[in-house]
Amino acid sequence: MTSQQRVFVTRNIVPNAILRLKEYFEVEVWEETDPPSKDILIQKLQNFDGVMTEVSDVIDDDVLSSCSSLKIVANRAIGYDNIDLTSASKYGVFVSNTPGILQDSCADFTMGLMLSLARQVTRSNRKVIAGEWRFFDQTPYLGTDVFGKTLGLLGMGEIATAVVKRAVGFDMEILYYSRSRKPKLEEIYGIKSTSLDELLSKSDYVSVHVPYTHETENLIGQHEFQQMKKEAFLINTSRGGTVNPNALREALLEGSIAGAALDVTVPEPIAPDDPLVTMENVIITPHIASASAATLQRMGLLAADNIIAGLRGEKMPSCLNPEIKTFK
């Protein structure tokens, strides 16, 4: 029934998901550590019905227009800015993501970055590793508190909501800026909807949780950094493109803000010689906010389930373009 259908997996990250796919399809896995290039993707996907992708795999119009047999792109991520959804729909290719899974892992990580920035956890650890802890002296590492401070959240989706639940435990005042009001969350947690400028000017910590779109590209730039407190910190676990990297470098060098923690960058991975990498008030992690073992497994299995359902003509658990009704 489905034995002739073929699925390409762009990384050997979730073996259980690959095993599940092999129950239904012929599966080929890209075994290299580095992701396949666009040329390789075009070459590989010529004769495949489905592909499981990672966020670093760019599935644009060039790829989609070249792969006439492709029916499903299952992104192992909640974001899908690496996929041209308009082109996919034009060519009759279903696209799916993995929502409802990673919000708690990402919220935990966001709080971890916030605490590390505030209390200089990462910086002080680097000093110990470098052999610079020679006697008891706390003064070089005096930080700021998190409890009782003001947290500003850009966006109020699943991840930001999970951050709210954690931040209330630190007795934080929580402001948020979103396209739509969340009156139920306001009532339950006492959070306040506000303008972007007011959020920036009042927050001690600004955390970005918006999807990456044309509207949110460079959402935080020079003007926004000028609105922030000099004692404030920026945390970004969304997508690197939501923050203008040149404006961020300038703000940090000029002392317009106190520091930043970035799980996402532009480009990604960030160049080793980028000034941000060596700034003592900056933490950069390699896009791992969702990388708990359990979350990784669940995301992979959901991506596999999307492919299985779609290629079997069943309803996909999380299809992003169901309006195309049926694949080509």
Instruction: For 158-175, give the secondary structure using H, E and C.
Output: HHHHHHHHHHHHHCCEEE
Cβ 213 vs Cβ 81: under 8 Å:
yes
Q: Which of 268, 312, 314, 323 is catalytic?
A: 268
Active site residue 268: yes
Distance CA 51, CA 35 (A): 14
Residue 38, SS3 per DSSP? helix
Q: Which of 239, 250, 254, 298 is catalytic?
A: 239
Q: Is residue 304 part of a domain?
A: yes
Q: Is residue 171 part of a domain?
A: yes
Do residues 47 and 122 both lie within one domain?
no
Question: Token pair of 232, please?
Answer: 């404030």
Look at the alpha carbons of 175, 180, 186, 189 in this order and tell me if their dihedral is positive or negative: negative
Do residues 58 and 196 both lie within one domain?
no
Q: Residue 305 belongs to what domain range?
A: 6-101+293-324
Q: Is residue 217 part of a domain?
A: yes
Do residues 267 and 308 both lie within one domain?
no
Look at the alpha carbons of 204, 125, 104, 216 in this order and tell me if their dihedral is positive or negative: positive
Per DSSP, helices labelled H in the chain are 15-22, 38-44, 61-66, 85-90, 103-119, 121-129, 158-167, 183-189, 196-202, 222-227, 245-254, 275-278, 293-311
Do residues 91 and 107 both lie within one domain?
no
Do residues 239 and 161 both lie within one domain?
yes
- Phi, psi (rounded to 5 degrees) for 111: -65, -35
Q: Which of 6, 76, 209, 287 is catalytic?
A: 287
Q: Is residue 190 part of a domain?
A: yes
Do residues 204 and 314 both lie within one domain?
no
- Phi, psi (rounded to 5 degrees) for 262: -125, 120
Distance CA 82, CA 158 (A): 20
Instruction: Say what the pLDDT of residue 77 is.
Output: 96
Q: Is residue 1 part of a domain?
A: no
Q: Are strands 282-284 and 259-262 parallel, antiparallel or unpaired?
A: parallel
Question: Token pair of 280, please?
Answer: 């003592």
Do residues 94 and 128 both lie within one domain?
no
How many independent structural domains does the chain possess? 2
Active site residue 223: no
Residue 45, SS3 per DSSP? helix
Do residues 119 and 184 both lie within one domain?
yes
Q: Is residue 130 part of a domain?
A: yes
Do residues 127 and 268 both lie within one domain?
yes
Do residues 135 and 263 both lie within one domain?
yes
Cβ 302 vs Cβ 75: under 8 Å:
no
Q: Over its length of 328 residues, how does the chain's per-residue pLDDT go in tens digits?
A: 445 899 999 999 999 999 999 999 999 999 998 999 999 999 999 999 999 999 999 999 999 999 999 999 999 999 999 999 999 999 999 999 999 999 999 999 999 999 999 999 999 999 999 999 999 999 999 999 999 999 999 999 999 999 999 999 999 999 999 999 999 999 999 999 999 999 999 999 999 999 999 999 999 999 999 999 999 999 999 999 999 999 999 999 999 999 999 999 999 999 999 999 999 999 999 999 999 999 999 999 999 999 999 999 999 999 999 998 776 5
Active site residue 239: yes
Q: Is residue 193 part of a domain?
A: yes
Do residues 108 and 189 both lie within one domain?
yes
Do residues 87 and 145 both lie within one domain?
no
- Phi, psi (rounded to 5 degrees) for 319: -85, 135
Sheet containing 173-177, strands listed edge to edge, beginning at the edge strand earlier in sequence: 192-193, 173-177, 150-154, 205-208, 233-236, 259-262, 282-284
CATH classification of the domain holding 273: 3.40.50.720
Q: Is residue 173 part of a domain?
A: yes
Q: How far apart are the first and last CA of the chain?
A: 18
Cα angle: 194, vertex 199, 203; to 5 degrees: 140
Q: Are strands 205-208 and 282-284 parallel, antiparallel or unpaired?
A: unpaired
Instruction: Say what the pLDDT of residue 112 is.
Output: 98
